[in-house]
Amino acid sequence: MAGTWVYAETVEGTPKPIALELLTKARSLGEPTAIALGPGALKAAEALGRYGAKKVYVHEDPAFVEVLASPAVDLLARLIEQEHPDLVLFGMTYEGRDVAARLSARLGTALIANATDITRKDGGLAVVTPVFGGSMLVTTAPRAKAPTLVLLRPKAVTAEPAGSSGAPSLETLSDPVDTGKPGARVLRREKEKASGPRLEDAAVIVSGGRGLGAPENFKMLDELAAELGAAVGASRAVVDAGWKPYAFQIGQTGKTVKPTVYIALGISGAMQHTVGMKGAKTIIAINKDPEAPIFKMADLGVVGDVHKIVPQLIQEVRARKGK
């Protein structure tokens, strides 16, 4: 039986942004069913309904957030074998990748990762994924047994509420959760300390690369970001060098962002990085190398020394703000 399911990640009773993006896409593929697990799942169901979920399975056992992946995989496998959906969407997140990969191995079904779009075509599915750092797109028509599991990249779809969606049908589950088998457990959770907007939600991002020369030079990026009300990001090279934590990384193996303005400072423009920020409406690049690949995609490019230009830019912003 055809059916589109969404694995809806939630936190403290609120759907994560990726869950709402998945439901927005799922509405174009049929009537979506959402699965919300862990404490607060019932509370999250209302919001899931506003974004198009016609039915929501909820299970509020704390084990779903205390034990990594395996309880969710056990429950999803049972539900799928009972209801036979032909498509299950996951977010390309830590949790989504973990659950989807294990579920694919459990069921022996196809898993397509890093997707940017999916449609129903000629009685089947067509899944679009970027390759070679986003320079090419590949469309895959899976032929494996149902269901096909698809990991959709964050920001690939703009989350939009359903026009006239009523309250979803709720099915509260009480299946016993097996926490006795070996597996990874969450020992503690720590919230990231941040003074500005979240990187994923920021309208303006100031991002730095190895061209900054040293980790202490990120201070001027912090100053510029503070004046612009922007978030600070970093390239993989910066994170690998230990200059910034992984939470700042933008790119194929980091976060995907889609700001109104993206300012790349000392970033060469490797495909691994640009695949995570090419959705920005306006890209501004400053780099002393006139051959840097970033200039090919920049709307405004400045060939010059970031150490000289950025302080002047900060002064100009402050002057225009009357500081």
State the CATH number of the domain containing residue 109: 3.40.50.620
14-15 and 32-37 as β-strands: parallel, antiparallel, unpaired? Answer: unpaired
Percentage of the chain beyond pLDDT 90 is: 75
- pLDDT digit string, tens, across residues 255-274: 989 999 999 999 999 988 99
Q: At what angle do helices 94-107 and 70-83 cross, to 10 degrees?
A: 50
Q: What is the CA radius of gyration of the chain?
A: 22
| Residue 184 resides in a domain | no
Sign of the alpha-carbon torsion through 73, 74, 75, 80:
positive
**Domain edge (last residue) among 130, 157, 172:** 172
Q: What is the pLDDT of residue 200?
A: 87
| 232 shares a domain with 128 | no
Among candidates 242, 247, 214, which has minimal Cα distance to 94? Answer: 247
Q: What is the pLDDT of residue 194?
A: 64
Q: How confident is the model at residue 224 (pLDDT cuts 50, 70, 90)?
A: very high
| Residue 306 resides in a domain | yes
231-234 and 204-208 as β-strands: parallel, antiparallel, unpaired? Answer: parallel
Q: What is the pLDDT of residue 69?
A: 93
Among candidates 55, 44, 77, which has minimal Cα distance to 6? Answer: 55
Instruction: Over range 229-242, report the average pLDDT.
Output: 95
| 135 shares a domain with 71 | yes
1 pLDDT more than 60: no
Tokens 């942004």 found at? 17
Sign of the alpha-carbon torsion through 182, 58, 36, 125:
positive
d(CA 236, CA 43): 37
Residue numbers of the domain that contains 286: 204-320
12 pLDDT more than 60: yes
| Residue 267 resides in a domain | yes
- The number of distinct structural domains making up the chain is 2
| Residue 191 resides in a domain | no
d(CA 221, CA 307): 10
| 213 shares a domain with 254 | yes
290 pLDDT more than 80: yes
Q: Which structure tokens are listed for 233?
A: 């990001």
Percentage of the chain beyond pLDDT 70 is: 97
Lowest mean pLDDT among 67-71, 101-105, 107-111, 319-323: 319-323
Q: What is the pLDDT of residue 260?
A: 96
Burial class from Cβ neighbours inside 10 Å (0-12, 13-18, 19+) for residue 216 reads exposed
| 163 shares a domain with 231 | no
| 240 shares a domain with 121 | no
- pLDDT digit string, tens, across residues 93-147: 999 999 999 999 999 999 999 999 999 988 899 999 988 767 788 999 998 888 9
| 288 shares a domain with 214 | yes
Secondary structure of residue 294 in the 3-state scheme: helix
